[in-house]
Amino acid sequence: MADGVYDASQIAVTAQNMSVTGFKKGTFVTANKDDDNVTVESNAQGEATWAINNSKLGTITLTLNQTSPFCKFFNGLAKSHAFFPIWVDDPIGGEKRGGTQAMVTKVADATYSDGNEARAYTIKVGDFDIINS
Residue-level pLDDT at 117: 96
What three-state secondary structure class fits 22?
coil
Q: Measure CA of the first residue to CA of the last residue in the chain; give whole Å.
A: 17
**Mean pLDDT, residues 27-32:** 97
Q: Is the pLDDT of residue 4 over 80?
A: no
Rounded to two decimals, what is the model's pTM? 0.91
From residue 105, alpha-carbon distances to 20, 23, 79, 93 in Å are 18, 19, 9, 28
Which residues lie below 8 Å from residue 28, measured CB to CB, with a gap of 6+? Answer: 8, 11, 62, 63, 64
Mean model confidence pLDDT for the chain: 95
- CATH 2.30.110, applies to 8-132: yes
Tens-digit pLDDT profile for residues 36-76: 999 999 999 999 999 999 999 999 999 999 999 999 999 99
How far, in Å, CA of 96 to CA of 37, rounded? 18
